[in-house]
Structure 1
């Protein structure tokens, strides 16, 4: 494979001529299934190259030509051919105007730090794992014999909602254990369990002894159906549903048998019944009378008043402040970061443990070809220098989120963001974007050319990517002329067609047709590239950064790096 090298003594639009040279291997054209539109064919088309070394100035120029990087792989979509054209999007930090929702995210974090925000108990459980168990014990001690009334308080409803969330999480953990032990086929992508509260009006219609039934899950039926479907596709289903060794009844019994520890901790009685997994109170199996119901109602109200709701109970009832720190470190492997990343991928993106390997994590989020630039003397660089970094968000010494970023002569380019699922209610994806925009504003003083915040790729046809345009006023890169076009002018064009020459917006301003000025044959000469890079997301609206399988596929296609990149000696900088 031919290797191209060029000294950065050549002129660069970024303006620095003494930052080394780049070594980039000629790339290949790759096609894969699309993780955005979920097309069945290999409709995602991109061009990729392997970078052994790359100066920050040259990578800045590549960004401004529609390229991105995943580890040491450079890639760019073939815009006129790929199914989901991906436009580079950026924002001038000094022009940024936060929306009301973005302002609410900042205020919510401030209330959390001040100890004034009522939050999920899962945060407190980090400090005291017995909290969830104690809450479940109180709930399970309640009687459940009569119909719920319309006067149930909001706090009581929240309490019940989060007991079901807690139970669902425990069932999912048991399912994973069964998969790892081989009791359930590991190759099958299983649905997530959902435990529901049983209406008391229904318990009267059930068999005797069901009066104390509080929660139930039908996950065993879903797992059995998934396995049957997989067998049918593979043409291996040699047994009928009735003879299937993994029928709903057997699966539910396996799960219930593995939940013994949950019974001991929370005082719940758990039984498998005709494929259902049922949770009963620890009370005796007799029908409660009117007096017992009255006691139950008052007990539930008391629990609500005491703030035992898993969602709304205050972590800091006495207003104790929390310490939020944001550390900026050169890109390197950190076991604590990898543990958080693995938990995030499994809980948020439903990856299996085998999908989240240390090697794939290193290749995607640690390895970098960017040659680090240290701050020195007359160099107009920020105090941290240029290069690849990990931005750690630490609350009271606990790592809760990591932003993977590149700091370049003209911008902060956001690559990926992962966070602790227990802190989802803080909208850490949105909060990190606001922090990164603020960082650019602060460091423009040291480096006047550093003015922009790059949000990666924007795909107008993908609803999950639309959130990037909420950071206003943003610009999209024209895929043919490489001019930056205001999003508000480009949007009408993208509403009509997924791939357009955005600089043709002049036609719209003149009231003419929106057909491209350049013919399709001329469009064919533009550079090739890769289309699968995803960035910062958000928790509230499912817009957190997503690790698409194509990123890993791209890395595997180019193999392991041949040399380790020197990351410099920047120390642990506390920047917030």
Structure 2
């Protein structure tokens, strides 16, 4: 059985100032706990994000909400029960119009641009203490020349929109030459309501005379379009659309072919939207931030790029890890010959988790933040046909104190995670609490406790000198391996116990018994 291996960075109790907040821009008000994920199984990472953790490349972090200026609450949408709002339909219609007719804008000035950025800086590298040298590349059994796609049956084959049924649009025109004189709104509305009620009563009396119930039929109109229907396009569209999946490996030929183009869009986004310098978003930092990941790969399961192709050109790339129950993805969206957006996602046992989105600012008229989220919700529903436990779409963190992040709550039905009980609650019930206080216990029942709370340090599993052991075995082993003149002082022992106890409280009882906490060899 594969085991997760992490290296925890304990917080310093003497440090009272934090990092710069990427949301409110205060210099010393962001506090987080972090650990390096050398290896993570899908199951363990699912449990981690359900306790408020997120990953940035190989680095995993959890905001300390009780101390942060902008508390961050995990948010998820129930994809199977998802309801499209009126504003989201406008975004889908605009994108559909662009694909089918080539028109690039429709009331573009009123479009809301959604930016899904966690504004987080991860450490430059691991501390270097870990002596773990297994080569995980031997687990990759897929040829570097394989080009794969997921069809509707979730099998890996080529996928295009050639089989999508043709639909036609009817344009209504208005003849203004014979318009009736306008009447006051109140009189017009009142008259319409009265006439409608009279017609309804006459119809009801006729039905009763025939011996029928006289009840109105409520579903006589056309059925509303599903999300999947909004995301399909005519076969004779101006832009022909298809999806392709390639192995997410720097040595993979297809990965290399699209790397420079996607990097260029990333740099343009970071410089334009976040004001970064070009050296801060170079190829090395791009790989560390969005390409590297700790998720394990076995057999057909592994890391992939999900590419969206427009007219034979890549329009989007989704970096995905397909594991027995997990996929980690990055979506890149192009127009002919040009990537316009990239969305990074993790697919886990119960969810698709959005990690990051960047896009070409020139294409903000397509509301790509909203569109990519809707596309990923549809992807959850697609995967659920094969993996019955997959039901949710995680949108990262909901920051109520940051207006530009509130759009995440518009994907209904959505739920926020309570930072104390780690239970999920409808966002509508949480908003009044957050309006009163930026940090709040969201679970209304004060008696509800964390069912996965840390209990005993002896339950922690440890990796020491390439051996897996319990905490008790580690203490005994480490004591025997050091000369008497080099035993730890009492202060050093207490500090290590404090660090491991802090780790246990943050990850929870179940996860700390599954993951291996790396402990370095003490100097002799």
Q: Alpha carbons of 1:111 and 1:39: their partners in 2 closer, same or farther (altered >3 Å)?
A: same
Residue 362 of structure 2 is aligned with which of 416, 422, 426? 422
Residue deviations 1:69-96, cap 9 Å, x none? 0011111011211221110000110111
2:102–2:239 contact (8 Å) kept in structure 1: no
Please say if 1:34 is aligned against 2:16: no
Correspondence for 1:476: 416
- Counterparts of 2:31 and 2:414 in 1: how far apart (Å)? 26
Distance 1:441 1:485 in 2: 22
Q: How many residues align?
A: 298
> Deviations 1:423-455 (Å, cap 9, x if unpaired)?
111111111000000000111010011111000
Which residue of 19, 23, 33 maps to 2:5?
Answer: 23
2:347 aligns with 407
Relative to the length of structure 1, the TM-score reads 0.48
Change (3 A) 1:103 1:384: farther
Matched with 1:437 is 377
Q: Contact 2:326/2:347 (CA < 8 Å) preserved in 1? A: yes
Question: Is 1:337 the counterpart of 2:284 in the alignment?
Answer: no
**Aligned-partner Cα distance in 2 for 1:497–1:114:** 46
Seen in structure 2, the aligned counterparts of structure 1 residues 367 and 403 have a Cα distance that, compared at 3 Å, is same
CA contact under 8 A between 1:331 and 1:367: conserved in structure 2? Answer: no
Shift of 1:324: 3.2
Moved over 6 A (4+): 381-385, 522-526
Matches within 5 A, 1:123-202: none
What is the match of residue 370 of structure 1?
295
Change (3 A) 1:445 1:373: farther
Backbone CA RMSD of aligned residues: 3.0
Does residue 361 (structure 1) correspond to residue 278 (structure 2)? The answer is no
Q: Does the aligned pair in 2 maintain the 1:459–1:465 contact within 8 Å?
A: yes
Compute the displacement of 1:26 (Å): 1.9
For 2:338 and 2:68, the matched residues in 1 are separated by 42
CA displacement at 1:326 relative to structure 2: 4.0
Structure 2 equivalent of residue 133 of structure 1 = none
Is the Cα contact below 8 Å between 2:32 and 2:64 reproduced in 1? Answer: yes
Q: 1:391 Cα shift?
A: 2.1
Q: Residue 331 of structure 1: CA displacement? A: 4.0
Deviation at 1:328, TM superposition (A): 4.3
Distance in 2, matches of 1:517 and 1:394, equals 47
Structure 1's 362 and 320: CA in aligned 2 closer, same or farther, altered over 3 A? same
Greater CA deviation, 384-393 or 430-439?
384-393
Corresponding residue number in structure 2 for 1:85: 71
Q: CA deviation at 1:396?
A: 3.1
Report the Cα distance in structure 2 between the residues aligned to 1:341 and 1:332, rounded to whole angstroms: 18
Q: What CA distance in whole angstroms lies between the structure 1 residues aligned with 2:407 and 2:46?
A: 24
Please report how far the alpha carbon of residue 39 of structure 1 lies from its aligned counterpart in structure 2 after TM superposition.
1.8
Partner Cα separation in structure 2 for residue 329 and residue 67 of structure 1: 28
Within the candidate set 238, 259, 262, 1:321 is matched to: 238
Residues 66 and 88, structure 1, Cα contact 8 Å, conserved in 2: yes
**Maintained 8 Å contact 1:43/1:82:** yes
CA 1:406–1:85: 2 relative to 1, 3 Å: same
Cα offsets for 1:85-114 (capped at 9, x unmatched):
110000110111111111111100111111
2:33 to 37, 42, 47: 47
Deviation at 1:320, TM superposition (A): 6.9
Contact 1:407 1:413 (8 Å CA) reproduced: yes
Q: Which runs of 5+ in 1 are unaligned?
A: 1-17, 121-153, 159-318, 508-515, 530-576
Residue 389 of structure 2 corresponds to residue 457 of structure 1: no
Aligned-pair distance for 1:353? 1.5
In the alignment, the residues of structure 2 paired with residue 407 and residue 397 of structure 1 have an alpha-carbon distance, to the nearest angstrom, of: 28
Unaligned 5+ residue runs, structure 2? 13-17, 110-235, 251-258, 302-320, 455-500, 508-524
Q: Contact 2:416 / 2:426 at 8 angstroms: preserved in 1?
A: yes
Report how far residue 383 of structure 1 moved. Answer: 9.7
2:79–2:393 Cα contact (<8 Å) kept: yes
For 1:101, which of 74, 87, 96 is the aligned residue?
Answer: 87
Instruction: State which of 343, 346, 349 in structure 1 corresponds to 2:274.
Output: 349
CA distance in 2 between partners of 1:393 and 1:462 (Å) = 26
The question of whether the paired residues in 1 share the 8 Å contact of 2:72 and 2:398 is answered with yes
| Match status 1:496 vs 2:436 | yes
